Structure 1
């Protein structure tokens, strides 16, 4: 298998047992890099190159990483860029030494037929190919701040249409993650001015703020009511200070985690109601029964602290078709 070859090839360079993330891990200082709101759809590339760090790998700031070699360019290029270059070299070497050394050539000549479209967050801690130990050609991916789908977003519509109508994916997965910065921001007061160019971020997370304001999830209701009481009791001066520097919700805050889940569920429903999926399901109804293999839409959540993926149990499928069961732990909410 590819991953076995990766481990065997890279073991001398790592401090502990390695995952595919060791191929491409950036330094932790780049945790917050983002690729959100791209104007063009992302193909199933190894997009985690700027995404997921791991302490098991050598980072550019460590002495070993800075040791000159015959191919070292550390005196010319920034170390973080050189780290990506070295990671790409190790990736190519691992492919060549794997049980499927021609996988990239085959994908290049035969095209891609991924079974999954994955819509996730642009957060650098969420590297979808790494999380699932997926080989190239498995996941058609797109991402943005807080894993959202909207009909008015041309990028979202184009990716979904291409995945369903051209690539013929079997599953569309919306995967949120606990600790999402976009979701956290939706629980905080709206800044009165956005002199630092973050206005578009506030516009983008407005639908999540709407979920927070109207959700009937007990955890969110309690958080909302507690916050309201606090605002009423505090002085105007204290409230102004809190608006200027609001406290971030804790990773384990029940309301924060609940809002992450509710946001995933809302986006599953938006995709299910989209023109692309509606037309797809309508077309299925006109086909012979043996040709009615439609797309299923799933809502999952990733725990950045444990690495576990859970199924929220909100799968939507073609009318009349049995919903598939997944082996992931289920979080019924």
Structure 2
């Protein structure tokens, strides 16, 4: 099946990726400047976690481990923001994605710099204090940075309308069964999950175990939906994780389906990004833009999977639906 040709972006198109990555680069530079300007006055290890009440230090990390964590977070989130923003066909959610990136980068940098300043001049890291009211200040900084990012992103592009395809059938002889199966994966999501997994194991073994646990939780949330096998047979539509084969991401039996079609899917235009997406009246596993199966359910909602040869899958699913309806009518 030939893919639809993509129109060339206009010459005055906004540099989405550059705008999205900018705050993370600026945040890394700010943290590096603060660290090198006061490194001679920092204790070893640093106080990096503060408890309730008087905000007494109750967690400690080496300066190298602390910087590695901060720069890793900025690198991971900055890379993801840049990859998402540089995809063809920015959606109405792209400016808000950029705004969120500005807020996140500002929050990480502000907390990192405040932690370094709080440690400066301390001879004993256990005596370092960081008032909890500064969390409210962090939130204010993040909101202001997000507003700046939204301003720099400019007006949201208007998504183009996409017409749905028909509801095809396969010429499958009575009594003959058939199955269809394809795999779909997203290399950027696999890379992100692998990076989170590796960083989590590293921090768990050599640095802050709390940061390691957080990164591992992120990897567990990302990796199962990074690659999937889509199957259509007489039982309906099944989407299973290929990285964790026993895990079913979604199963739709025939009695929950009214019709299946195929059409081009815009990941950002329609769902605001990649992964398992949930929107009003529809959900789906969207790992790229392009051809996909659109399954209309009996409750009026839609389930979408982006996968190659979606037209064949939809036709086979409709054929099995016709058979199921014929059996009910004949009963």
Superposition TM-score, scaled by structure 2 size: 0.27
Bigger proportion of residues as strand? 2
Pick the structure with more helix per residue. Answer: 2
- Larger gyration radius, structure 1 or structure 2: 2
TM-score if structure 1 supplies the norm length? 0.27
